[in-house]
Structure 1
Amino acid sequence: MIGPANPGVGSWPARRARISPHRTALVQANRTLTYAELAHRVDRLAAVLTGLGVRRGDRVAYLGVNDVSVFETLFATALCGAIFVPLNYRLSGAEIGYMLADCGASLLVHSADADELVASSGPLPRVLRTADLDAETAGEPPSAEVTLDDPCLLLYTSGTTGKPKAAVLTHGNLTWNTVNQLAHFDVLSTDRALCIAPLFHCVGLGQITLPTLFKGGSVEPVARFDPGVILARISEARITGFSAVPTMLQMMCQASAWDTTDLSSLTCVLYGGSPVQERVARAWLDRGVRLLQGYGMTEASPGVSMGTHEGTPAHPVSAGVPHFFTDVAALGLDERVAPLGTQPAELLVRGPNVFAGYWNRPQESRDSFVDDEWFRTGDVVRVDDDGWTYVVDRVKDMIISGGENVYPAEVEAVVVQLDEVESCAVVGVPDERWGEVGVAYVVVRTDLDEDTLRKHLEANLARYKVPKHLVFVDALPRNATGKVRRVELRARAAATFAGN
C-alpha cells in the first residue's frame, strides 16, 4: 500500500472530508462549514495563494482575531508547502512590522478588525484582506508534497524578556502534539469545542482545537474573550471543552453568571501558559468540571505534561505527568542530563513534538539544546514521589538572596492564599547587604494592610524568602497572553528600591 503523499497539517481537512464529509467542522455566528465544505475552501484558497506567487517555504502572515478564516488560511498555507505565521493583533504597529521583517513574510492576510494596525505597521509585503479572498481568481491547486519534517508554523514567543523570536514548528511537531493530547484525554467526533484562547498562541491552537478537528468534532472560534458571553455560550451550545489561560478561568468564575450557568456539558477544560491559583482551580472542580492543567511552551507545540482526570482533584495545581511521546529530564549541577527528582532543577524535554529551532537564529537554536536533543526549558520543576510535576519557577526569575535561592512562584503562591489577594508577582532587586531581595507587587480584592500580609508570609515561609518590599498596586502589567511582564516590574523595582 502506498503511504500518504501529504501527511502534514494542510491535508487534514481533505482527509477528514473523506471520513466524515457532512459533519460540522467550524461554527461562527450564523455560519457553519462541514468538513467537505472546509476542504473545498482550503483547496480553493491554496490555489489563490499559489496564483499570488506563494511558493514552498514562503511565509504567509495572518493578523486578526479568532475566526474561521484563520483556519482556512492555516490549512491552505500548509497545503502550499508554505509556512503560516499568526501574529498578535494586540501588539503595536512597530512590533508587527518587526515580526513581518524578521520572518520575511511574502504575504500578509488580515481581517477588517486589523485595518488600522496594518496601516501603522510600516513597510509591508503584499497585503490581502480576508473579505477579498473569495474575489481572488483561483489558479491551479498546489502540488507541493509536504512531509512531517517540513516547517508548518512560526509562532513568536511572548517576548517577556526582550525581542520576540519565532519558534519553527514542523508538520510533525503539530501532529505529534495532537497525538499526545489525544493519548492523555478523550476527544470525540461529537464534541463541540470553543476556541477562546488566541490562535497566535500555542494554547489556542495546540490544546483542544487541533485535536478536536483531528477527531472530526466541531470548533467554534471566539473573536473576543468576554467571561459572561463565554459562560452563556457554553450553556446555549452545549460546549464540551475549551482551552484557556488561567486569567480567563479566573474571570469566568468571578463573573456574575458563574453560579447560575449550566456547565454540565463540559467534559474537559484545559489550561496552561502560567500557574493557576488553587482557589480558581477548586472553583471549577467544585462545579463538577473536569479541569486539567497542561504544562508546555511554544517550543514543544506546546504539550510537555498534563494532569489526569483521576489525579487532578488531589493535585489541583500540579502540571501533571509527561505526555505519552515526550521525555523529560533534569539539567544536573554538572550540566549533564539527569533524572528528575524532588529537588528543584531545570527541566529538559525531548520528543517529536519539540521544535526545529528558532527562525534565522542558528546559535540561539544550538544553545537551547543539551547534547543536541534535550531542549532547555528554562523552567525549574520538581517531581513528587508519585510522579506528578510542579513548576517551581523560571530559571531567570530566581532570586539569590544571601546565597539562598528564592523562587518567586513559591512566594506568590503563599501570598494568594489570602482571600483578600487577587494576584501577585515577585521580582528581585539589587541589595547592598543581601545581593538581591524580593519585591512583591500585590493586587487586592478587599482591604489588606501590609502588616497582616507580612505576618502571613513570615508564618508560611523561611525568613529569607519573605520579600523585603511589599507594594500594593491596582493591576499587574501583562502581555497579550496574560503572562506578567516581569521585565517591566524589575525595571520599576530597580528604579524605586535599588540600594535601599
Structure 2
Amino acid sequence: MMTPNWILQRASLTPDRIAISWEEQQWTFREMAERSMDIAKKMRGTGLQEGNRVALLTTGGPETVFLIHGGLLAGFELVMLNSRLTAAELAYQIEDSEAVAVFTDDSLLDRAPDSTPVSRLLCGKAEDFKPAELWHEDRTLTIMYTSGTTGFPKGVRQTAGNHLSSAAASAFNMGLQDGDVWLCAMPLFHISGFSILSRSLIYGMTVRLQSKFDAEASAREIAEGSVTTMSAVSAQLVRVLDILEGRKLRADGRFRQILAGGGPVPSPYIRRAEALGIQILQTYGMTETSSQTATLAAEDALRKTGSSGKPLFFNRIRIEGAEKPGDEGEILISGPHVTPGYVGRFSDSPAQVDGWLHTGDIGKLDDEGFLYVLDRRSDLIISGGENIYPAEIEQVLVGHPDVAEAGVAGVEDKHWGHVPAAFVVVRKAIAAEELEAFCRERLAPYKVPKYYRFVEELPRNASNKLLRRELRAAFEIEK
C-alpha cells in the first residue's frame, strides 16, 4: 500500500493555510514545505542517501519542525532523541539505532560532541534531488526510544501506516472542524508531540507551537479561544487549571477539549476542568502504538471517571487471562497503529505475539468495554499478598484541596514485603497526620501510605510522566 508524501500533498492541497504558529510568527503549508525542502537538500548535500537512519537532537520550536520535515523529505528514518537525556544515555541510543549521522542544535553539542551542528548544516552545500511522491505504508518514518522506566530503552519503529492510522482514528473519535488549532506543548521527539505534527499534515490543521510547556500562555490561549485543542498530561493540566481558577477565567466557547494522556487523570481534575468549560478526553497510548489506542468520549467522562475509554475505530484491546468483565490483567493491543518491531539490541524481540502487543500495563475492561488502566506492572506494589496500584492512591491524595501533585511508590518493609510511600507537593503546609486521616476515609487500610514525604517537585521524564523508580531511590537515600 502507498500513501501520498504528506508534506508535498498538504502543500499542494491547502498551500496558503497556516501550518505552524509560534510566538508572533506563522508559516503556511507552502512556506513550511519550501523551507523543509531547502533543509532536505542540505541534508543530502552531506552525502546522506534515501533510507539512511539519521538522528535529530533539538530543543524544539519551529526550526525543529522544519528539520523533521526536511529529514522526511530527504527519505531518512528519523531517530528522535530526547534532549533531556545525558550524554551517556544519548550515546547508547545513537549507537543502538545505528544512526549514520546526528544533527544537533548548537546549544546541545555538549550532549553529542561528535554530531553535526544544525548551524553548520544550514550553511552547507545543497544537493538537488526529487523527493518521493509516494510513501510505502510500511516505510519506517520515525524511531523513538521508550522512556526506559525498566531496563534498557527500546528503539521503537513507527511506520507511515502506523502514524496514518493513528491520525485517522483520532479524527474519527474527536471530529474535525474548520479553524481547528492544536496547541502543542509536548516535546516533538516524543510520540505525543510528533503525532500532532502528523495530524497537522493529514488534516490540514494549524499547530500552535510552544518550544516548551508554558502554563501561563496555555491558560491565556484557552481563555481567549485562539486554540481549540490541547494535549497535556496531568501535571500540565493542573497548572493550567490553577491559573484559570486563580484569575477567574473560563475556556472560550471555541476551545473544544484537552486530550489528556501519560497516566490516569484524577477525577478531581476532571471536575475542576468541567467547571471551567473544558472537556477532558482521557486517553491511553504508548510509543509502540503511535499515540492513542483508547480515548474516553466527553459524554462518558462523568459516568466513567477514571476510564481511558474504548478502543479507537481500528484498534482492539483485551485483558490477558480475563474471563469476565472486571478481571484484571495485562493490557494487550492489536491494530494497524502498533509498531512492527524494534531496532538495535531488541531488533530480534517480537513487538507482537500472535498479533497482540503486550504492553506491560495492568488494566481491566468493564461490562460495556471501557478500559481502566490500573498501573504499570513494574510499579505494582504487592503488600502482604495484596495488590496495590499507586495511581489509585495518587488519585485520592490529589483530591485533598491542599495537595497539588502526588506520587506513590512501593518501598521495602520487613513485615509486609512492600508498603506504599507517598511523595506530595502541597499548595500550603499540611500535616502528614491529616493526609493519613484523609486517606483512611477513602482507602482500605492496606492501601494507606505508611510514609509521607513533602517535596518541591516530583521526578518526571521529558513527557512529564512520573518516574516512580526515582521516588523509590529517593526514599532509600533518606532512610
Letter of the 1:46 counterpart: A
Matches within 5 A, 1:468-483: 468-483=450-465
Partner of 1:349: 333
The 3-state SS of whatever aligns with 1:346 is strand
* Distance 1:130-1:15 versus aligned 2 partners, 3 A rule: farther
CA deviation profile, 1:280-321 (whole Å, cap 9, x unmatched):
222222122232111111110011100112222333432111
Matches within 5 A, 1:262-281: 263-281=252-270
Q: Out of 304-313 and 42-51, give the one that drifted further.
A: 42-51
Once the 2 structures are TM-superposed, how far is the Cα of residue 69 of structure 1 from its aligned partner?
Answer: 2.6
Matches within 5 A, 1:103-182: 103-111=97-105, 115-122=106-113, 124-125=114-115, 127-129=116-118, 133=122, 136-143=125-132, 146-182=135-171
Q: Is the 8 A contact 1:24 1:33 kept in 2?
A: yes
Partner of 1:328: 317
Once the 2 structures are TM-superposed, how far is the Cα of residue 244 of structure 1 from its aligned partner?
Answer: 1.6
* Distance 1:215-1:339 versus aligned 2 partners, 3 A rule: farther
- Separation in structure 2 between the aligned mates of residue 364 and residue 424 of structure 1, nearest angstrom: 38
Query: 1:13 and 2:7 equivalent?
Result: yes
Partner of 2:352: 369
Letter of the 1:350 counterpart: S
Letter of the 1:375 counterpart: L
Once the 2 structures are TM-superposed, how far is the Cα of residue 236 of structure 1 from its aligned partner?
Answer: 5.3
Query: 1:378 and 2:366 equivalent?
Result: no
CA deviation profile, 1:441-467 (whole Å, cap 9, x unmatched):
222222322222222222222222222
Letter of the 2:185 counterpart: I
The 3-state SS of whatever aligns with 1:175 is helix
Query: 1:220 and 2:208 equivalent?
Result: yes
Query: 1:230 and 2:212 equivalent?
Result: no
Q: Is the 8 A contact 1:294 1:319 kept in 2?
A: yes
Select the residue among 428, 431, 449 that pairs with 1:446. 428
Once the 2 structures are TM-superposed, how far is the Cα of residue 144 of structure 1 from its aligned partner?
Answer: 8.6
Structure 2's unaligned 5+ residue stretches are: none
Q: Is the 8 A contact 1:25 1:33 kept in 2?
A: yes
* Distance 1:339-1:37 versus aligned 2 partners, 3 A rule: farther
- Separation in structure 2 between the aligned mates of residue 73 and residue 255 of structure 1, nearest angstrom: 33
Partner of 1:389: 371
CA deviation profile, 1:360-391 (whole Å, cap 9, x unmatched):
1346732x5333x2111111112223332221
CA deviation profile, 1:30-60 (whole Å, cap 9, x unmatched):
4332222223333333232222222233222
Partner of 1:463: 445
Q: Is the 8 A contact 1:22 1:36 kept in 2?
A: yes
- Separation in structure 1 between the aligned mates of residue 139 and residue 450 of structure 2, nearest angstrom: 50
Q: Is the 8 A contact 1:342 1:385 kept in 2?
A: yes
- Separation in structure 2 between the aligned mates of residue 237 and residue 309 of structure 1, nearest angstrom: 19
CA deviation profile, 1:54-100 (whole Å, cap 9, x unmatched):
22332222222332232322233223331112222222333333322
Select the residue among 366, 376, 399 that pairs with 1:417. 399
Q: Out of 220-229 and 310-319, give the one that drifted further.
A: 310-319
Letter of the 2:236 counterpart: M
CA deviation profile, 1:5-33 (whole Å, cap 9, x unmatched):
xx26xx11211122222212122234332
Structure 1's unaligned 5+ residue stretches are: 333-337
Query: 1:29 and 2:23 equivalent?
Result: yes
Query: 1:41 and 2:35 equivalent?
Result: yes
Q: Out of 45-54 and 269-278, give the one that drifted further.
A: 45-54
* Distance 1:327-1:130 versus aligned 2 partners, 3 A rule: farther
- Separation in structure 2 between the aligned mates of residue 263 and residue 130 of structure 1, nearest angstrom: 40
The 3-state SS of whatever aligns with 1:252 is helix
- Separation in structure 2 between the aligned mates of residue 75 and residue 298 of structure 1, nearest angstrom: 20
Q: Out of 154-163 and 168-177, give the one that drifted further.
A: 154-163
Partner of 1:52: 46
* Distance 1:237-1:468 versus aligned 2 partners, 3 A rule: closer
Once the 2 structures are TM-superposed, how far is the Cα of residue 189 of structure 1 from its aligned partner?
Answer: 4.5
Letter of the 1:42 counterpart: S
| TM-score relative to the length of structure 1 | 0.88
For these two proteins, the number of residue pairs brought into alignment is 478
Letter of the 1:457 counterpart: C
* Distance 1:28-1:442 versus aligned 2 partners, 3 A rule: closer
Select the residue among 279, 292, 295 that pairs with 1:306. 295
Q: Is the 8 A contact 1:27 1:218 kept in 2?
A: yes
Query: 1:282 and 2:271 equivalent?
Result: yes
Letter of the 1:436 counterpart: H
The 3-state SS of whatever aligns with 1:230 is helix
Once the 2 structures are TM-superposed, how far is the Cα of residue 472 of structure 1 from its aligned partner?
Answer: 2.6
Once the 2 structures are TM-superposed, how far is the Cα of residue 204 of structure 1 from its aligned partner?
Answer: 1.5
- Separation in structure 2 between the aligned mates of residue 258 and residue 325 of structure 1, nearest angstrom: 42
- Separation in structure 1 between the aligned mates of residue 194 and residue 323 of structure 2, nearest angstrom: 31
Once the 2 structures are TM-superposed, how far is the Cα of residue 240 of structure 1 from its aligned partner?
Answer: 1.3
Partner of 1:335: none
CA deviation profile, 1:411-447 (whole Å, cap 9, x unmatched):
2222222112222222222222222222222222223
The 3-state SS of whatever aligns with 2:135 is coil
Once the 2 structures are TM-superposed, how far is the Cα of residue 194 of structure 1 from its aligned partner?
Answer: 1.9
Letter of the 2:331 counterpart: L
The 3-state SS of whatever aligns with 2:243 is coil
Letter of the 2:32 counterpart: L
Query: 1:484 and 2:455 equivalent?
Result: no
Q: Is the 8 A contact 1:252 1:258 kept in 2?
A: no
* Distance 1:462-1:283 versus aligned 2 partners, 3 A rule: closer
Partner of 1:295: 284
Once the 2 structures are TM-superposed, how far is the Cα of residue 481 of structure 1 from its aligned partner?
Answer: 1.7
- Separation in structure 2 between the aligned mates of residue 235 and residue 402 of structure 1, nearest angstrom: 49
The 3-state SS of whatever aligns with 1:487 is helix
- Separation in structure 2 between the aligned mates of residue 463 and residue 290 of structure 1, nearest angstrom: 34
Q: Out of 27-36 and 173-182, give the one that drifted further.
A: 27-36
